[in-house]
Amino acid sequence: MKRRNFVKKAVLSSMVTVIGYDIVFGAIMPEGYEPLALQGSDPYKMFKKDKEMVILNDKPWNIEAKAHLLDDKITPNKYMFIRNNGLIPNTINAKNWTLTIDGESVVQKKTYTLAELKSKFNQYTYQLTLECGGNGRSEFDPPAKGNQWTVGAVSCAKWTGIRLRDLLEDAGIKDNAVYIGYHAIDTHLSMDPNKEPISRGAPVAKALQDETLLAFKMNGEDIPLAHGYPLRLIAGGWPASVSGKWINRISLRNKVHDGTKMKGTAYRVPCEPAEPGKKVSDEDMCIIESMPVKSLITYPKSGAMINKGEKLNIRGHAWAGELEVGKMEYSIDFGSTWEKCSIEKPVNRLAWQHFYATIDFPKKGYYEVWARATDTQGVSQPMILPGWNPKGYLNNACHRIAVKII
Ligand SMILES: Nc1nc2c(c(=O)[nH]1)N[C@H]1C(S)=C(S)[C@@H](COP(=O)(O)O)O[C@H]1N2
Ligand SMILES: [Mo]
C-alpha cells in the first residue's frame, strides 16, 4: 500500500490564512486534500451574480456575461465578469490593510494605511472599460488554451479612488523609473505561498494618467470581494490584467516589470503578424498595451423575432482602448453595405460609448445584424477573426446577432 503523505507545511499555512482559522488537525491532513471550507458554495449567491452569467471555470473562478446582459450604461456587479488567475482571498482585514510603494525607482519607500489613502489624497470617480485580453478567445483556430471567453469579459463600472500618480509622487519617482508592477494577496493555485498568481503592471506614462486609479469603491459601494476589495488598481483601456485586485504593494521599477505573467506568451502577442499555430520566438513577442477598437450589440438579444413592418431599434457600446470611437456602423447583408449608427461621446476618457440605430428590414426572413466600430485613427474592427496569436488574445471581430422578421 502506498504510504499516506501529509500536507506540506507551507501549503497548510496558506490554507489557514485563507480559511482564517487554525486547522486543528491540519498536520495530519492528507496531501492533496481540499478542506470543505475552501470548496465553493453557490457561486451566483457567493458573488451576487445574475443567473444568466456563465461559469467557465471554478478553480479559479472565471465567469462571463452574455451580450444582452451588458445593456446597462454602467455595468452593475451582477453582470460583471470575474477573471481570476489564483484563489480569491477569503479573509480580508480592511482595517489593517496597508499599501507599500517600493522598488528601485522610488525616492522613499512608503507604507500607507487604507485610511491614510482615503484621507490624504483627492478622490476621483470615472467610468472605466475593463476588458480581459482573452475576451473572444473561443473563436480562435487553431484553438487557444485558456478560458474560452465568448464576448462577455468586458465591463464598464464606475470606480472611485485616488490617482496612482498622486501616491507615486508622494513617495517620489526617480528619473530612471520605467514601469510599475503590482503585488496582491491572492493565493497561487498550487497554494505555494512563495508563488504569485499574477503580478503585472504598466509603463510609468500609463501609471501617471489622470484616470489610473487605486480604487476602493465600485458603483458607489465597497468593491465586491471578487473584484478586488479593499483596494485595486484600475487602468482602463488596457488589458484588464493590468488592473490588479487586492493590491498591497506597488513597485516603481527601473526596467519593465518582470513579475508573474509578464513574460513568454502571457499577455503578449507576436509584434508582427504570425502564421497560425507557428511558434514565435520570445524576442518577437510584444506586451499588449492599449486594447483594440471593439463593440457589442446589447439590444436586442440574438434570436429576436420582429413583425414585418416594425422597425428595430438596436443599441450597444463601443470602445477603443486609449482612443475614442469615431464612427459606428451596422450591416444587415453580411458586411456588403454599411449604414451609420449614432454614437455618443464617452462620459469621460476610457469609458465605453453608446450607439443606436433604427433598422427597417426589406422583407420577411432571416437576417444578421453586424456592428462595426472605427477608432479616431481610422482603424476598424475586422469582419472576421484578426491575427492569430498563441494565447488567443485581442479578438475584436465584429459582433453579430440573428434577427427573424416574421
Ligand atoms: N490580484 C489579481 N488581480 C487580477 C487578476 C488576478 O488573478 N489576481 N486577474 C486579472 C485579469 S486577467 C483580469 S481580466 C481582471 C478581471 O477583473 P474582474 O474580475 O474584476 O472583472 O483582473 C486582473 N487583476
Ligand atoms: Mo484577463
Q: Which structural domain range is residue 213 located in?
A: 94-287
Q: Measured from the CB, is residue 85 less than 6 Å from ligand 1?
A: yes
In 3-state terms, what secondary structure has residue 162? strand
Name the one residue in this structure whose C-alpha cell is 451566483: 44
Q: What is the CATH number of the domain that holds 361?
A: 2.60.40.650
20/238: higher pLDDT: 238
Please report which ligand is nearest the Cα atom of 83: 1
Catalogue the E-assigned strands of 237-381.
247-253, 268-270, 285-287, 294-299, 304-306, 312-319, 325-331, 339-340, 342-343, 353-359, 365-375
Q: What are the tens digits of pLDDT across the range 344-362?
A: 999 999 999 999 999 999 9
Closest to 154 measured CA to CA, from 320, 386, 300, 343: 320
- Give the atom of ligand 1 at the shortest distance from the alpha carbon of 84: 7
- Same domain (yes/no): 99, 123: yes
Look at residue 62 and tell me if it is in a domain.
Answer: no
Residue 180 lies in a domain: yes
- Closest ligand to C-alpha of residue 242 is 1
Lowest-confidence segment of 112-116, 274-278, 335-339 by average pLDDT: 274-278
Cell of 295: 463593440
**Final residue before a domain boundary, out of 287, 314, 348:** 287
In a domain, 190, yes or no: yes
Ligand 1 close to Cβ of residue 88 (< 6 A) = no
Mean pLDDT of 60-74: 97
User: pLDDT digits over 124-179, tens only?
Assistant: 999 999 999 999 999 998 899 999 999 999 999 999 999 999 999 999 999 999 99
Q: Supply the CATH number for residue 244's domain.
A: 3.90.420.10
Average pLDDT, the chain: 95
Residue 78 CA from chain centroid, whole number: 15
Instruction: Say if 60 falls within a structural domain.
Output: no
Do 149 and 203 belong to one domain?
yes
DSSP state of 3: P
Write down the pLDDT at residue 2.
52
Same domain, 114 and 231: yes
In a domain, 83, yes or no: no
Please indicate whether residue 182, judged by its CB atom, sits closer than 6 Å to ligand 1. Answer: no
Q: Are residues 310 and 399 in the same domain?
A: yes
The structural domain count of the chain equals 3
pLDDT in tens, 190-245: 999 999 999 999 999 999 999 999 999 999 999 999 999 999 999 999 999 999 99
65 within a domain of the structure (yes/no): no
Tell me whether residue 80 is in a domain.
Answer: no
Q: Which of 266, 287, 308 delimits the end of a domain?
A: 287
In this structure, of 2-16, 144-158, 261-275, the range with the lowest mean pLDDT score is: 2-16
Nearest residue by C-alpha to atom 24 in ligand 1 = 244
Are 209 and 278 found together in one domain? yes
Q: Distance between CA atoms of 288 and 293, rounded to whole angstroms?
A: 14
Could you tell me what percentage of the chain is helix, strand and coil, using 3-state DSSP and rounding each to the nearest 5?
15, 35, 50
Strand pairing category for 247-253 and 98-102: parallel
Q: Which atom of ligand 1 is nearest to the CA of 80?
A: 21
What pLDDT shows up at residue 1? 44
- pLDDT band at residue 3 using 50, 70 and 90 as cut-offs: low
CA distance 184 to 228: 9
Q: Tell me, in angstroms, the distance from the centre of ligand 1 to residue 149's CA.
A: 14
